[in-house]
Amino acid sequence: MSDEESEPLRYAVHEGLAELAFNRPHRLNAVNESVYAALREALRRAEEDETVRVVLLRGEGRAFCVGADLKAHGSGERTPYQRRRYLEGEQEVCRRILHLSKPVVAAVHGYALGAGAEMALAADFLLMSKSAKLGFPELSIGNFLGGGITWLLPRLVGLARARELLFFGERINGERAERMGLANRALDDEGFLESARLYARALAEKAPISMELAKRTLLLAAGNSLEAALAAELEGMTFVATTEDWREGVVAFAEKRPPRFRGR
């Protein structure tokens, strides 16, 4: 077994940033059962680690993630039960990204296709290199969609554009994704990873409790009425006013210095 296969995902924490890196560059980071299992474990570790403020999801080598490992799919070695469990693996990873209490930033270079695109869009922030390509080839090859993308994509770009992206399977680059509101930023190819890290580190300086509440409230907002959203915001404002971070933010503003949040 190669080193890449023995470590399908790399995990490292530095200065409040947890980096999760797909590590199957020889397969353009195509996902299989071991990748999904490693992702679930890494997201659990990041969730429980109080030093982690933000998660950065990226890929080693020439791509972010080209989706399912079609070589494994075509081998016919999975039983129907095993295939179902494999498919549930992606659903669970996307669910965990969406519901993680900490912001997740996806840094996409090369290709993000199929399940790779679905995991990238489950993140709170999507950064793409200008030449990166993102797309959903599933319907073009007789497959189907996963990761909650039929719920999420229309929320991001509207139903009409979601239909085009999913039905035609067109690959769009970073600049077009930014214009569509699909990507937060389209960054230069040169120095892309460091630019993505700077973006994530800037996010890590914000108040973690406030970010957790904002992430949860925004996720639920689409299914709530205005009155429910106002009630949730009132509860959030009332709660954060009891925290040490709220007091630190007020004092730092008065003293004209950057706040030092501790997540308490």
What's the rounded Cα separation, in Å, for the pair 178 and 126? 9
- Has domain 3-204 been given CATH number 3.40.50.410? no
Tokens of 94: 């996307």
- Count CB atoms within 10 A of the CB of residue 232: 17
pTM metric for this prediction: 0.92
Encode pLDDT of 221-239 as tens digits: 878 889 999 999 999 999 9
Q: Which fold has domain 208-255?
A: Lyase 2-enoyl-coa Hydratase; Chain  A, domain 2 (1.10.12)
Name the residue with higher pLDDT: 2 or 118: 118
What's the rounded Cα separation, in Å, for the pair 75 and 245? 53
User: Can you give the three-state secondary structure of 197-230, one letter per residue?
Assistant: HHHHHHHHCCCHHHHHHHHHHHHHHCCCCHHHHH
At residue 74, the pLDDT reads 55
What's the rounded Cα separation, in Å, for the pair 241 and 146? 39
Nearest to 116 by CA among 17, 181, 28: 28
106 forms beta bridges with 57, 126
Contact by Cβ (8 Å): 82, 105: no
Tokens of 209: 């409790």
What percent of the chain clears pLDDT 90, i.e. is strictly above it?
77
Encode pLDDT of 116-127 as tens digits: 999 999 999 999
User: Which positions are catalytic?
Assistant: 118, 138
Longest dimension (CA), the chain: 65
Encode pLDDT of 161-211 as tens digits: 999 999 999 999 999 999 999 999 999 999 999 999 999 999 999 999 999
Any idea where the domains of the chain sit in the sequence?
3-204, 208-255
Nearest to 40 by CA among 75, 5, 92, 79: 92
